[in-house]
């Protein structure tokens, strides 16, 4: 009787902790497309239900509009979790935009409009030596005003709010969040090109305008020069934006510090665009409009209700034929106030487990046979070497049998190798030099990707 009771206890406990098998999910992209998933926020306050705000877009910046709950796979640590819902939140949730506009003195000049594609001047000089611009010349500040006004008109002012910040050597135009389109257009029209550039101060002001708002918060900033008048620094605005979950989209026009602007955008999960001519601004703002209106909210159920594991790692993914798309894993902590709820859930699970065992023994006379699928842990890569490689890599994994997948940086699978032991040697000398992502698949589950570099 004691042996039966112990066996039944183990079997039932395994049933409670067993993970779901991975299934390949068909997405709405073709194998010719590449895409990325970017996690913006994680909200565990209703644990074990966890909400995630993420952005999905093609590698060219075009948003993915067609994702469904069935397309998504969620892993929390090594557990695959049930997806309860997926919605495009920007359809119903407020979008709060901080639009930062450079109107420094250099915004009057656009040298790309002064020469044709062959380098021939399009300007001329009058009899008295006066410089004459081409007839179709439009100053960058005027192109910027027109592009921003078109951008603003693409939003839903029954729910969305916009703040305008204008700057030159100081922040001299500030319109708090509003739905008053007349006020928005008026402050944009009032900007004139003059003085120096205080970009970082202006972005800092824009963040302050958004901090207390509800809904999605985004900064979109335009500049055509190097910051030479700010007290704020790139790191200070990055830290403030990250603390308040505000991505920063930056548009650099002409000669700008591309490395710093790109660093700010990438660090805050925004995006950096560089254009040579102000004539391209309308297209860039149009693309950003699509992106900030293509955020998704996903809700899943955590499989792990242990109060011991307060720190979790979350990853979103889906497979599309030969494309394997995955977000960068993001970490989050279970809030302290939620732990009380988690501990109560643990108690309930313990009561249900032992109560169910006792009832089963009474009904079945102490002998019950149970069957289940074996527990399959997610494969992982312990080590890859040498890295960089000159043509061959060695992979160490605890997985005894499976497939090595190597994809290029666009997500396209370029090599697959079957293996039957935990140490694999793979010849990649036939691939062109560059960076690749390697992962291991076993029993329908894949490891996280590890980057390798090939330098022959």
d(CA 444, CA 437): 18
Cα of first residue to Cα of last residue in the chain, in angstroms, is 66
The answer, yes or no, to whether residue 261 has pLDDT greater than 90, is yes
Q: Residue 337 is encoded by which pair of tokens?
A: 């106030």
| 328 and 393 together in one domain | no
What digits encode the pLDDT tens for the residues 432-454? 988 888 888 888 777 777 778 88
d(CA 414, CA 408): 7
What digits encode the pLDDT tens for the residues 387-407? 888 899 998 888 888 999 888
Q: How many CA atoms lie within 13 A of 115 on its CB side?
A: 7
| 234 and 292 together in one domain | yes
252 backbone dihedrals φ, ψ, rounded to 5°: -105, 125
Q: How confident is the model at residue 339 (pLDDT cuts 50, 70, 90)?
A: low
Residue 113, burial from CB neighbour count under 10 angstroms (0-12, 13-18, 19+): buried
- Higher pLDDT, residue 364 or 80: 80
| 180 and 268 together in one domain | yes
Helix, strand or coil, per DSSP, at residue 293: coil
Q: Residue 51 is encoded by which pair of tokens?
A: 């909400």
Alpha carbon 56 to chain centroid, angstroms? 7
Residue 302 maps to a domain: yes
Are 272 and 250 in contact by the 8 Å Cβ rule? The answer is: yes
Q: How confident is the model at residue 426 (pLDDT cuts 50, 70, 90)?
A: very high
Are 52 and 298 in contact by the 8 Å Cβ rule? The answer is: yes
Are 122 and 110 in contact by the 8 Å Cβ rule? The answer is: no
Residue 177 maps to a domain: yes
| 411 and 301 together in one domain | no
Q: How confident is the model at residue 326 (pLDDT cuts 50, 70, 90)?
A: low
d(CA 73, CA 317): 5
Mean predicted confidence (pLDDT) in 273-277: 88
Residue 182, by phi and psi: left (phi above 0), alpha (psi -120 to 50) or beta? alpha
What one-character DSSP code corresponds to residue 398?
S
d(CA 27, CA 225): 41
The alpha-helical segments, DSSP class H, found in 162-257 are 181-189, 199-210, 234-243
The alpha-helical segments, DSSP class H, found in 20-99 are none
| 409 and 303 together in one domain | no
Q: Which of 297, 314, 332 is the last residue of a domain?
A: 332
Which positions ≥6 away from 439 have C-beta within 8 Å? 324, 381, 404, 405, 446, 447, 448, 449, 450
| 88 and 219 together in one domain | yes
Q: Write down the pTM of the prediction.
A: 0.61
Are 60 and 46 in contact by the 8 Å Cβ rule? The answer is: no
pLDDT at 292: 81
Are 34 and 437 in contact by the 8 Å Cβ rule? The answer is: no
d(CA 5, CA 29): 51
The owner of tokens 């009058």 is 126
The answer, yes or no, to whether residue 232 has pLDDT greater than 90, is yes
Residue 355 maps to a domain: no
- Higher pLDDT, residue 79 or 219: 219
d(CA 362, CA 356): 10
Residue 282 maps to a domain: yes
Q: Which of 308, 332, 356 is the last residue of a domain?
A: 332
Q: Please tell me the total count of domains within the chain.
A: 2
Which positions ≥6 away from 335 have C-beta within 8 Å? 44, 45, 47
Residue 372 maps to a domain: no
Query: Residue 400's domain spans which residues?
Result: 381-454
Residue 349 maps to a domain: no
Residue 361 maps to a domain: no
| 78 and 177 together in one domain | yes
Q: How confident is the model at residue 4 (pLDDT cuts 50, 70, 90)?
A: very low
Residue 348 maps to a domain: no
The answer, yes or no, to whether residue 218 has pLDDT greater than 90, is yes
Give the number of residues written for the chain. 456
CATH number at residue 291: 3.40.50.410
The answer, yes or no, to whether residue 153 has pLDDT greater than 70, is yes
d(CA 302, CA 337): 17
- Higher pLDDT, residue 60 or 413: 413
- Which run of H or of E encompasses 290? helix 281-292
What digits encode the pLDDT tens for the residues 155-198? 888 999 999 999 988 998 999 999 999 999 999 999 998 888 89
| 84 and 224 together in one domain | yes
| 86 and 182 together in one domain | yes
| 291 and 420 together in one domain | no
CATH number at residue 390: 2.60.40.3080
| 290 and 405 together in one domain | no
d(CA 181, CA 192): 20
| 447 and 319 together in one domain | no
d(CA 296, CA 447): 25
- Which run of H or of E encompasses 261? helix 258-267
Q: Which of 272, 299, 332 is the last residue of a domain?
A: 332
3-state helix vs strand vs coil in the chain, percent to 5: 30, 35, 40
The answer, yes or no, to whether residue 73 has pLDDT greater than 60, is yes
pLDDT at 149: 93
Nearest to 274 by CA among 294, 257, 293: 257
Mean predicted confidence (pLDDT) in 321-348: 53
What one-character DSSP code corresponds to residue 187?
H
């Amino acid at each position: 009787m004691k042996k039966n009771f112990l066996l039944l206890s183990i079997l039932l406990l395994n049933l409670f902790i067993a993970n779901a098998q991975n299934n390949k999910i068909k997405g709405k992209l073709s194998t010719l497309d590449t895409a990325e998933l970017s996690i913006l926020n994680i909200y565990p306050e209703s644990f074990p239900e966890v909400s995630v705000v993420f952005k999905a877009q093609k590698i060219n910046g075009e948003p993915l509009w067609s994702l469904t709950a069935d397309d998504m796979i969620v892993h929390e640590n090594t557990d695959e979790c049930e997806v309860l819902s997926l919605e495009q939140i920007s359809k119903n949730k407020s979008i709060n935009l901080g639009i930062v506009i450079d109107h420094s003195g250099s915004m009057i000049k656009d040298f790309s409009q002064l020469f044709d594609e062959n380098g021939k001047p399009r300007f001329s000089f009058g009899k008295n030596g006066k410089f004459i611009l081409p007839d179709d010349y439009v100053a960058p500040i005027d192109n910027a005003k027109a592009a921003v006004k078109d951008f603003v008109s693409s939003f839903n002012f029954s729910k969305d709010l916009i703040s305008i910040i204008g700057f030159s050597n100081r922040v001299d135009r500030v319109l708090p969040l509003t739905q008053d389109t007349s006020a928005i257009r008026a402050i944009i029209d009032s900007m004139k090109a003059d003085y120096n550039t205080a970009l970082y101060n202006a972005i800092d002001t824009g963040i302050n305008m958004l901090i207390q708002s509800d809904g999605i918060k985004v900064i979109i900033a335009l500049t055509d020069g190097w910051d030479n008048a700010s007290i704020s620094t790139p790191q200070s605005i990055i830290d403030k934006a990250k603390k308040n979950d505000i991505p920063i989209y930056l548009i650099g026009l002409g000669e700008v510090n591309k490395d710093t602007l790109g660093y700010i955008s990438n660090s805050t999960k925004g995006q950096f665009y560089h254009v040579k001519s102000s004539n391209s601004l309308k297209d860039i703002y149009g693309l950003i409009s699509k992106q900030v209106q293509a955020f998704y909210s996903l809700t899943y159920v955590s499989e792990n209700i242990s109060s011991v594991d307060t720190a979790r790692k979350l990853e979103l993914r889906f497979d599309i034929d030969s494309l394997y798309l995955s977000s960068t894993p993001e970490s989050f902590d279970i809030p302290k106030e939620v732990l009380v709820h988690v501990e109560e859930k643990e108690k309930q699970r313990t009561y249900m487990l032992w109560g169910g065992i006792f009832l089963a023994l009474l009904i079945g006379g102490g002998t019950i046979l149970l069957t289940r699928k074996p527990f399959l842990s997610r494969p992982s890569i312990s080590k890859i070497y040498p890295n960089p490689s000159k043509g061959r890599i060695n992979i160490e994994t605890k997985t005894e049998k499976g497939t090595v997948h190597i994809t290029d940086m666009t997500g396209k699978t370029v090599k697959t190798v079957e293996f039957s032991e935990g140490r694999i040697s793979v010849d990649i000398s036939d691939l062109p030099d560059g960076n690749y992502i390697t992962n291991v698949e076993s029993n329908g589950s894949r490891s996280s990707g590890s980057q390798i570099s090939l330098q022959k």
